[in-house]
Amino acid sequence: VQLQASGGGLVQAGGSLRLSCAASGTIFSPNSMGWYRQAPGKEREFVARSRRTARNISTNYSDSVKGRFTISRDSAKNTVYLQMNSLKPEDTAVYYCGYCSGLGCGMNYWGVGTQVTVSS
Protein backbone atom coordinates (compact mmCIF):
# COMPACT_ATOMS: atom_id res chain seq x y z
CA VAL A 1 0.00 0.00 0.00
CA GLN A 2 1.27 3.43 -0.93
CA LEU A 3 -0.02 6.60 0.70
CA GLN A 4 0.21 10.05 -0.84
CA ALA A 5 -0.55 12.92 1.50
CA SER A 6 -1.02 16.55 0.54
CA GLY A 7 -2.54 19.80 1.74
CA GLY A 8 -0.17 21.09 4.39
CA GLY A 9 0.95 24.67 4.57
CA LEU A 10 1.21 27.84 6.60
CA VAL A 11 -1.89 29.35 8.18
CA GLN A 12 -2.65 31.89 10.87
CA ALA A 13 -4.14 30.85 14.17
CA GLY A 14 -7.89 30.41 13.82
CA GLY A 15 -7.59 29.43 10.19
CA SER A 16 -8.32 26.17 8.40
CA LEU A 17 -6.53 23.61 6.29
CA ARG A 18 -7.59 20.35 4.69
CA LEU A 19 -5.22 17.43 4.34
CA SER A 20 -5.76 14.61 1.88
CA CYS A 21 -4.31 11.11 1.80
CA ALA A 22 -4.83 8.79 -1.14
CA ALA A 23 -4.11 5.09 -0.76
CA SER A 24 -3.15 2.90 -3.68
CA GLY A 25 -2.23 -0.74 -4.08
CA THR A 26 -4.08 -3.66 -2.54
CA ILE A 27 -6.69 -2.15 -0.23
CA PHE A 28 -8.57 -4.55 2.02
CA SER A 29 -11.86 -4.12 3.80
CA PRO A 30 -12.24 -3.62 6.68
CA ASN A 31 -9.43 -1.16 7.07
CA SER A 32 -8.35 1.81 9.10
CA MET A 33 -6.83 5.05 7.91
CA GLY A 34 -5.78 7.86 10.12
CA TRP A 35 -3.64 10.84 10.86
CA TYR A 36 -0.80 11.22 13.30
CA ARG A 37 1.46 14.18 13.88
CA GLN A 38 4.91 14.88 15.19
CA ALA A 39 6.02 18.24 16.50
CA PRO A 40 9.71 19.15 16.84
CA GLY A 41 11.24 17.43 19.83
CA LYS A 42 8.12 15.37 20.52
CA GLU A 43 6.98 11.86 19.81
CA ARG A 44 4.48 11.06 17.08
CA GLU A 45 0.95 11.31 18.44
CA PHE A 46 -2.47 10.14 17.35
CA VAL A 47 -4.81 12.72 15.80
CA ALA A 48 -7.77 10.98 14.17
CA ARG A 49 -8.80 7.61 12.79
CA SER A 50 -11.42 6.32 10.39
CA ARG A 51 -12.45 2.69 10.47
CA ARG A 52 -14.27 1.30 7.46
CA THR A 53 -16.27 -1.90 7.25
CA ALA A 54 -18.63 -3.09 4.53
CA ARG A 55 -21.49 -1.51 6.45
CA ASN A 56 -20.26 1.68 8.00
CA ILE A 57 -17.48 4.07 8.86
CA SER A 58 -16.60 5.05 12.40
CA THR A 59 -14.22 7.73 13.61
CA ASN A 60 -12.38 8.76 16.73
CA TYR A 61 -10.20 11.70 17.69
CA SER A 62 -7.63 12.74 20.19
CA ASP A 63 -8.97 15.04 22.89
CA SER A 64 -6.73 17.85 21.69
CA VAL A 65 -8.45 18.08 18.29
CA LYS A 66 -11.97 16.90 19.07
CA GLY A 67 -14.52 19.45 17.92
CA ARG A 68 -12.02 21.22 15.66
CA PHE A 69 -10.84 18.49 13.26
CA THR A 70 -12.98 16.19 11.15
CA ILE A 71 -11.78 13.04 9.42
CA SER A 72 -13.77 11.81 6.45
CA ARG A 73 -13.48 9.35 3.58
CA ASP A 74 -14.15 8.94 -0.07
CA SER A 75 -14.20 5.16 -0.15
CA ALA A 76 -14.44 5.01 -3.94
CA LYS A 77 -11.15 6.90 -4.16
CA ASN A 78 -9.53 5.22 -1.13
CA THR A 79 -8.90 8.71 0.13
CA VAL A 80 -9.16 10.10 3.64
CA TYR A 81 -9.35 13.77 4.49
CA LEU A 82 -8.61 15.77 7.61
CA GLN A 83 -10.46 19.06 7.82
CA MET A 84 -8.70 21.21 10.41
CA ASN A 85 -10.54 24.26 11.72
CA SER A 86 -9.75 26.74 14.47
CA LEU A 87 -6.09 25.90 14.16
CA LYS A 88 -3.77 26.73 17.03
CA PRO A 89 0.00 27.22 17.10
CA GLU A 90 0.26 23.97 19.06
CA ASP A 91 -1.15 22.14 16.03
CA THR A 92 2.10 22.88 14.23
CA ALA A 93 3.66 19.56 13.28
CA VAL A 94 4.43 17.20 10.46
CA TYR A 95 1.25 15.25 9.78
CA TYR A 96 1.46 11.63 8.68
CA CYS A 97 -1.21 9.49 7.08
CA GLY A 98 -1.36 5.84 8.08
CA TYR A 99 -3.16 2.68 6.94
CA CYS A 100 -3.71 -0.83 8.23
CA SER A 101 -5.95 -3.74 7.27
CA GLY A 102 -8.46 -4.22 10.05
CA LEU A 103 -10.25 -2.16 12.64
CA GLY A 104 -8.20 -2.31 15.83
CA CYS A 105 -4.90 -2.62 14.03
CA GLY A 106 -1.76 -0.56 14.42
CA MET A 107 -0.87 1.51 11.37
CA ASN A 108 1.72 -0.35 9.36
CA TYR A 109 1.85 1.74 6.21
CA TRP A 110 2.80 5.41 6.30
CA GLY A 111 2.87 8.23 3.83
CA VAL A 112 5.48 10.95 3.64
CA GLY A 113 4.56 13.64 6.14
CA THR A 114 3.15 17.01 5.25
CA GLN A 115 4.10 20.10 7.23
CA VAL A 116 1.41 22.16 8.92
CA THR A 117 2.55 25.42 10.46
CA VAL A 118 0.19 27.64 12.43
CA SER A 119 1.43 31.12 13.20
CA SER A 120 0.22 33.11 16.19
> Please, what sign has the CA dihedral across residues 60, 79, 2, 95?
negative
Q: Which residues contact 76 (CB under 8 A, 6 or more apart)?
A: none
First to last CA, the chain: 37
Rg (alpha carbons) of the chain, rounded to whole number: 14
Instruction: For residue range 43-101, list pLDDT tens digits in order.
Output: 999 999 999 998 999 999 999 999 999 999 998 999 999 999 999 999 999 999 999 99
Measured between alpha carbons, how far is 112 from 5 in angstroms, rounded to an integer?
7
pLDDT of 45 reads 97
Residue 88 CA: distances (Å) to CA of 3, 4, 27, 65, 96: 26, 25, 34, 10, 18
Instruction: For residue range 12-57, list pLDDT tens digits in order.
Output: 999 999 999 999 999 988 999 999 999 999 999 999 999 999 899 9
Burial class (CB in 10 A: 0-12, 13-18, 19+), 100: buried
pLDDT of 14 reads 98
pLDDT of 54 reads 87
- Residue 102 pLDDT class (50, 70, 90 cuts): confident
